[in-house]
Amino acid sequence: MVLAKIASQSDVSIHSTFASRYVRESLPRYKMPENSIPKEAAFQIINDELMLDGKPRLNLASFVTTWMEPECDKLIMDAMNKNYVDMDEYPVTTELQNRCVNMIAHLFNAPLGDSEAAVGVGTVGSSEAIMLAGLAFKRKWQNKRKAEGKPYDNPNIVTGANVQVCWEKFARYFEVELKEVKLRDGYYVMDPVQAAEMVDENTICVAAILGSTLNGEFEDVKLLNDLLVEKNKITGWDTPIHVDAASGGFIAPFLWPELEWDFRLPLVKSINVSGHKYGLVYAGVGWAIWRSKDDLPDELIFHINYLGADQPTFTLNFSKGSSQIIAQYYQLIRLGHEGYRNVMENCHENAMVLRQGLEQTGKFNIVSKEIGVPLVAFSLKDNTRHNEFEIAEHLRRFGWIVPAYTMPADAQHVTVLRVVIREDFSRTLAERLVIDIVKVLHELDTLPARISAKISVTAAAAAEQNGKNGAVVIKKTEIETQREITTYWKNFVSAKKNNKNTIC
């Protein structure tokens, strides 16, 4: 379901210069037209509006793949009319999915015998994969509690405050308490020690992230596993781990194969990964892989036969396209270990080029790590006059889409910009981006200080005057002041964007 809002109450129709030769009257925008129009007119009307979209390759906010080889593009188009769920009608597509599941399971070091099939499923992105994995953990925990005659109505899951929003969706939709480990200055991922301390008898699993959305950092799954092993021995619990490897699952095995985060750790029972991120496939395909059949309760698997044969299925949705499954198989056999390693090394090197270029400006603190997803997250050393939101806004004039955002609790006062390096982001583009960022910094230096900074200065002057007059003055800390400034600026930018009549 997509939540949408009408962009303008006054503009109720679409006008197109090119389509006007076919259409005598403008088309209604939010109601289906009464009459048909020529296919050329329909194409031109839509194409004209889409010209105003940003360029996907310059969208540095997104982890999602924006380029594939022409041969794979053709395979995708040829399979657009195949509904994946019709497994009996499209047995080869089903076989390709099974091959992908097994390849990825072996990549994640699943303990499989020579002839043993892996347990997993293709999903619509990592969001569905996380929902399925979470449901499996919840059902296993409930079954165990029922067998022990204990209450099973208050499950919880332990995560870091840096988790992607799909974890919050899972918790809310499926009535699981989300217990978050708060962040702190300089440490923007889940602390394994604190996570283990928060685990109780109602914890269905601890979710660790291999590649935080905020700064690309890998969480220490090995330490988390060791801490939980010891805690399980003492308490008699068997709290497991799920690894959200949406971004890092196709990176770590090729850049840091010695890093232990996957099924080599005994408590890791399931892993999700996004094929449409560093799996190098267009949106949207994800994968959910389980350690063994015992980790996926049988009662969650449905068997249907009204499409021609008995078909086991474990998905939240029914119909979906086959194209991305086929595209994933193409990438796996086309690139192999060598190809994926080359792509990831190139992305990592380009991230280092960008990182070094930003460091040389002397204006930024780098908050991302060299070991992690190939991205660069950075913040201004001095944001008293201008802040990260202004930089993001000014970069759009050059075509760059670079997100600015605040960190979660308890590091809300830290604001960062983030550039994601994908396969189609070249060394030349990295160098060009640094040049444009330097231009933006020079431009901002010539502009008056932002309104929020002026308010802060005015408030400080007023407080100083009150102090001279004998009034009791409570001075705010630097962090409190920065939080106020950040909040003010976010609201200011949001209000300006929502006001469609404002001319900037």
d(CA 38, CA 299): 51
For 256-313, the DSSP string reads: -TT---STTSTTEEEEEEETTTTT---S--EEEEESSGGGS-GGG-EEE-TTSS-EEE
Task: Specify the pLDDT at position 211.
Answer: 96
Q: What are the pLDDT tens digits along the chain (504 aa)?
A: 555 555 555 444 455 555 455 555 667 888 898 888 888 888 888 888 898 888 898 899 999 999 999 999 999 999 999 988 777 788 899 999 999 999 999 999 999 988 889 999 999 999 999 999 999 999 999 999 999 999 999 999 999 999 999 999 999 999 999 999 999 888 999 999 999 999 999 999 999 999 999 999 999 999 999 999 999 999 999 999 999 999 999 999 999 999 999 999 999 999 999 999 999 999 889 999 999 999 999 999 887 665 555 667 788 887 888 999 999 999 999 999 999 999 999 999 999 999 999 999 999 999 999 999 999 999 999 988 889 999 999 999 999 999 999 998 788 889 999 999 999 999 999 999 999 999 999 999 888 876 545 444 444 455 555 555 554 445 555 555 556 656 666 666 566 555 544 333
d(CA 417, CA 435): 16
Task: Specify the pLDDT at position 482.
Answer: 59
- Determine if residue 308 is left, alpha or beta; phi over 0 gives left, psi from -120 to 50 gives alpha, anything else beta: left
Task: Specify the pLDDT at position 470.
Answer: 52
Burial (0-12, 13-18, 19+ Cβ within 10 Å), 189: buried
Note the pTM of the prediction, 2 decimals: 0.84
Task: Specify the pLDDT at position 48.
Answer: 82
Task: Specify the pLDDT at position 22.
Answer: 55
